[in-house]
Amino acid sequence: MNLCIDRIHAWRALLAAPLAAGALVACTPAFKAGPLADEVRPSPNYGGRRVSLVVIHHTSNGSALPALRTLTNPLSEVSAHYLITREGRIVQLVEEGERAWHAGRSRWGSINDVNSASIGIELDNDGVEPYGEALMAALYRLLADLRARHQLTALAFVGHADVAPGRKVDPSALFPWRDMAQRGFGLWCDAPYPEPAAGFDVALGLQAIGYDLGAPDAAAWSFGLHYGGRLGGVAELDPAHVACVAAAARAAGAP
């Protein structure tokens, strides 16, 4: 069945529909779906922008359907470009060229309006469970496609906690950032780390990676969540670890 969504009242019928395998919901002819989307569920919550980041979220739900209802509800004023289900289905909600409302108050490097520069991806995960094989396989396919089409650097792939330190914790400490980096989606350093240069400043190292230093200890905590090691403030971080990631960030180039 094809449903063309051109009025607000049509959302009620859309939200009542199950997230069934093989279901394809078409909206207006102008909607430009990504080539890997299994399904399209248009969200009204977006505005125009360009792409230089990909921000990973988790839904905090036990299934995809509650998240889908929220992300496509005009009253919620929250959305993302893609939702990936536990089964590995890629559901597109907003065109990539439009500004989805997923990151909120956030910053990464010189980008002080992350929504205007990013693609948001919601992962069907409750925040305390491991990320399943089918979901991650679909995510890797989608990220490879986004990287190629938008010419993204490794530093362009970040978590919600990275761009909103102290405010957000997704995609959780269980997210496989090391595996992501091995595929070119983000950065990683394994111990033992090279000794940093004399006088290396940990806070400035965090800033070189992209973290907002408005709250340095919150940025340090988000670094630990993403890159491993102790979760704490700037004083708890291993300077050699931060220096290693900062060097990798410089080599990768700005997103």
Active site residue ranges: 122
Annotate 159-213 with DSSP letters as a single string. Answer: EHHHHSTTT--TT-TTS-HHHHHHTTSS---PSSPPPPPTT--HHHHHHHHT--T
What are the angstrom distances between the C-alpha of 188 and each of 25, 139, 224?
A: 38, 18, 12
Question: For 91, which DSSP code?
Answer: E
Q: Please report where in the chains the tokens 């906690």 appear, as a residue.
A: 161
Helix (H/G/I), strand (E/B), else coil: 11: helix
Report which secondary-structure segment, H or E, holds 54.
Answer: strand 53-58
What gap in Å lies between CA 247 and CA 255, rounded to an integer? Answer: 15
10 Å CB burial of residue 102 (0-12, 13-18, 19+) is buried
Whole-number CA gyration radius for the chain: 18
b/e per residue 2-17 (b: at least 16 CB within 10 A): eeebeeeeebeebeee
Sheet with 157-159: strands ordered across: 39-40, 90-92, 82-84, 118-123, 53-58, 157-159
